């Protein structure tokens, strides 16, 4: 009888130890909420919904996209900050929400109080210019700007945003003095080029065809498939220009269990590497790019540091 009692106690102990592991291994077993920090119908929302639908298939559960609009994306990030780190509340963010806004305003959360789960898209910033100006390539631009400080202007889609920081980084790293013309969005900045109000703008490569512009150079180590004829700054002999890409990615609250993170990483990788997702990105003029959590975390930190330096150097941050 004593042996039988000991056997049942041991079995019960093993069951108790195994139960939490089984519960974790079952992730996910209910609906996941994907926060999008911008309004329905916009470009960020469209890609988030596309990705979420494909991720839902991989995970085998419903994913509901929840638009939390306001504060240039910071209200959505604040909601993610308050969520439990259980894998059932995620966010799909463009980089501005994560690295630009925390450099521009005081927020109720630390900028790095989140877990970067996976990078989903990555589009190198491309310096563009109209076709009716006295240059056809960046080497000519460099010589003309060097000889004419403060004569020309670059447009940005918002002060402190990605396009602004990209161009400040380009011109400051090369010792070129170019004025800044802030506008309300990317389309307005492109129109400033067309009208002649500004001469430069930075955006992903799709802008070249949309507005019939010249692509001067891209901020990356390799040329982009979206604009294979546009060289990198490094190719042109300007290695001091930093790399900068406009990325989108999935984030979770800090403290996400390792096994849940691994499940989300693997499912995200399968989505990003699928032909269906890659074809959708190509039609939208975007590049799909998977990066795991550890590498994505390094990228986020490097970009935050770059924004911090450029915004301080240009007087937008004290």
On the CB side of 249, how many CA atoms lie within 13 Å of its CA?
A: 30
Give the per-residue pLDDT at 207. Answer: 85
Give the per-residue pLDDT at 3. Answer: 46
Report the chain (318 residues): mean pLDDT per 10 consecutive residues: 44 44 70 96 91 98 97 95 98 96 94 97 96 95 98 93 95 97 88 93 88 94 93 97 96 98 98 97 92 98 96 87
**Residue 211's closest CA among 230, 195, 229, 228?**
195
Give the per-residue pLDDT at 270. Answer: 98
Q: First-to-last CA distance in the chain?
A: 76
Give the per-residue pLDDT at 25. Answer: 55
Give residues with Cβ within 8 angstroms of 298, minimum separation 6.
none
Whole-number Å distance between alpha carbons of 270 and 297: 19
- Can you spell out the DSSP letters for 83-137? S-SSSSEEEEEEHIIIIIHHHHS--SS-TT-EEEEEEEEEEE-EEEE-TTSS-SS
Contact 297, 116 (CB under 8 A): yes
Give the per-residue pLDDT at 5. Answer: 45
Give the per-residue pLDDT at 134. Answer: 93
Whole-number Å distance between alpha carbons of 14 and 91: 37
pTM over 0.75: yes
Report the 10 Å Cβ neighbour count for 210. Answer: 13
Give the per-residue pLDDT at 255. Answer: 97
DSSP single-letter state for residue 242: P
Give residues with Cβ within 8 angstroms of 147, minimum separation 6.
none
Whole-number Å distance between alpha carbons of 167 and 178: 9
């Amino acid at each position: 009888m004593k042996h039988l009692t000991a056997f049942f106690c041991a079995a019960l102990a093993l069951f108790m130890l195994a139960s939490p592991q089984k519960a974790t291994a079952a992730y996910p077993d209910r609906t996941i909420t994907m926060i999008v920090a911008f309004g329905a119908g916009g470009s960020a929302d469209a890609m988030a919904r596309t990705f979420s639908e494909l991720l839902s298939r991989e995970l085998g559960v419903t994913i509901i996209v929840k638009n939390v609009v306001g504060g240039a994306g910071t209200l959505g990030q604040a909601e993610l900050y308050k969520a439990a780190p259980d894998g059932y509340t995620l966010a799909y963010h463009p980089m501005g929400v994560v690295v630009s806004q925390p450099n521009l305003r005081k927020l109720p959360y630390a900028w790095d109080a989140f877990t970067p789960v996976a990078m989903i898209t990555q589009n190198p910033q491309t310096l563009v210019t109209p076709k009716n100006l006295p240059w056809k390539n960046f080497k000519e631009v460099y010589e003309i700007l060097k000889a004419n400080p403060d004569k020309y202007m670059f447009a940005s889609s918002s002060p402190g945003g990605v396009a602004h920081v990209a161009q400040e980084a380009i011109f400051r790293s090369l010792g070129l003095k170019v004025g800044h013309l802030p506008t309300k969005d990317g389309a307005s900045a492109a129109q400033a080029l067309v009208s002649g109000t500004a001469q430069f703008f930075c955006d992903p490569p799709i802008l070249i065809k949309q507005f019939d512009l010249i692509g001067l150079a891209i901020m990356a180590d390799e040329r982009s498939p979206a604009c294979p004829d546009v060289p990198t700054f490094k190719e042109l002999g300007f290695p001091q220009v930093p790399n900068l890409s406009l990325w989108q990615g999935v984030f979770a609250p800090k403290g996400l269990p390792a096994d849940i993170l691994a499940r989300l990483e693997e499912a995200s990788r399968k989505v990003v590497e699928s032909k269906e997702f890659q074809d959708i990105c190509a039609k939208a003029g975007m590049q799909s790019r998977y990066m795991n959590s550890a590498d994505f975390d390094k990228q986020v930190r490097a970009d935050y540091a770059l924004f911090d330096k450029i915004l301080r150097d240009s007087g937008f941050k004290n």
